[in-house]
Every structure is written in C-alpha cells, then in structure tokens.
Amino acid sequence: MSGHGYLESLAPFGMKLGLERISALLEELEQPQERLDAIHVVGTNGKSSTVRFAAAALTASGLRTGAYLSPHVIGWDERVQIDGRPIVYLDSGATSQKPEAVLKALDDYYRYHNANIHRSVYLLAQEATELFEGARDRIAAFLNWPANCTIFTKNATEALNLVAYSWGRANVGPGDRVVVTQLEHHSNFVPWHMLCEQTGAQFEMVEVDDECVLQLDQLDALLATGTVKLVAVAHVSNAAGTINPVAEIVQRAGQGVAGHLS
C-alpha cells in the first residue's frame, strides 16, 4: 500500500470487528511513517471523527506500541467501493451526501464572504446577507411561493416541530383529527401525537398491509368524516423503503382537509 492506509466507518461492525479491521490495515503497511496515537474514522456521513482506542488496536494486532500509520482519508467522490462492493448510501434521512455544487458554494462562502448576516454594513456582511437572502429567493421561485414564506431550519425534524407548535396550536383543537401513517419516522410522528394530547384533537394512523403499502382506503374513510385537519406523510419510508404515492395522497387530502404536509 506504499505507506498509505485507508480508513472506513467502523460503527456498523462493532468494537471487535473494528479492531480487526484496524489490525489488518496496520499489517498491510509497508513503509510506516507517522506515529499512531489516534485513529480517524470516516463515517457514512462523510465526516471524520477521532476514535481513541489506538492502544487496544495495537494490542489486538500484536504490534508494539511504536507502530506507525500514515493515514490517507479517501474523499467520498473517490470512495466508490467498500470491500470490493459498490457503496449504496441509504441514510439520507439522517445525513445526506453533498453534491459538488453544494461543496463548492460552501467553500466559496467561507473563503471569500464569511460574516454575520442582517447586522453589519461592511462589505463582507453585505455580501453574506445578499447570498443568504438570494438563496431564499431562489427556493421561493422554485416552489412558486413568496420569499417571505420561506423559512430556513436545520433539518426536517426542526421544520415539523415548528409547524406543529405554531400552525398546529393555532388551528387544531378538540373534535379535529390529525392523520399520520404507520410508516412515519418519529420526527413526523411525535410532534403530531404531542399536539393532539395538548389540544384535545384525535390522533389517527393509516396502517400498512403485509407488503408495507399504505391502505389508502383507511385514509379515505378518515377524510370522509370531515374532521381531518391535517395529513402528514413521508414520501419514502426510512424503515421499510416503501415509496408512497405522494401526489395521489396530496390530491385526496387537499379535497378533504384544511391542511396537509408531504
């Protein structure tokens, strides 16, 4: 390996297998150069974290504590295989991989325009504010709604909680129904369940069949009551992989409720 080792995510394998992989890597090194006092592991989210169990790894490998390692962390664009198998990333609900355009935009901002927004008059701050609001304008144009209706949040969980605690408390009350599905992630389940407990609304759930497909006849029955205030449904299930017919669900919900999220 010419003195270079690649490091991969150890989390899915547990401590024992993780140590075995580190040991194998150490044994493959032909020209060790740098002292090993910490191990940088590339996780599936593309970030690098420091895992300080080097001593255990060395002990497991039978190598002396003076072993060395020259780490070479392979970037995601270069990392197309693990153990000879193509990488298929399925954890985007937790952390999505970043397209090249996003990486370049972040690099450009932090190199040339980094400053606080909405609070200063010097050039860098003006540029940062214009970039920030420009992103809001482009998103609004893409979604065909006003820019002042575009609110940035850290992630879907924060966005769902914001809607539940603002719109929900103002518009949902006793006698109303809030409908989710059996396929939902907790982030699209817990906020609505808590909202119903707090407002006296009824929490309903559309179930799935043996193939993990939503039973839309249950949704139709709930909509027919005329009491459904909101339907919250994910496009793709993070657990079952089911791809829900979102366009059809939105059409049905739009005809029978005061609001819907998808």
Residue 216 to residue 220: CA distance in whole angstroms: 6
What's the pLDDT score for residue 163?
Answer: 95
From the CA atom positions of the chain, what is the Rg in Å?
A: 25
Going from the first residue of the chain to its last (262 residues), give the mean pLDDT of each consecutive group of 10, the final group possibly shorter.
Answer: 34 46 57 44 35 44 39 47 78 80 94 94 95 95 93 92 95 96 94 97 96 95 94 89 93 71 48
Q: Are 17 and 60 in contact (CB under 8 A)?
A: no
Burial class (CB in 10 A: 0-12, 13-18, 19+), 122: exposed
* Pair of tokens at residue 39: 């191990």
* Pair of tokens at residue 138: 């482009």
Helix axes 14-28, 54-61, angle to 10 degrees: 70
Domain edges within the chain:
11-86, 100-149, 156-261
Q: What would the CATH number be for the domain defined by 156-261?
A: 3.40.640.10
In the DSSP assignment, the letter for residue 167 is I
SS3 238: coil
pTM of the model: 0.60
Residue 157 to residue 185: CA distance in whole angstroms: 10
Identity (one letter) of the amino acid at 180?
A: V
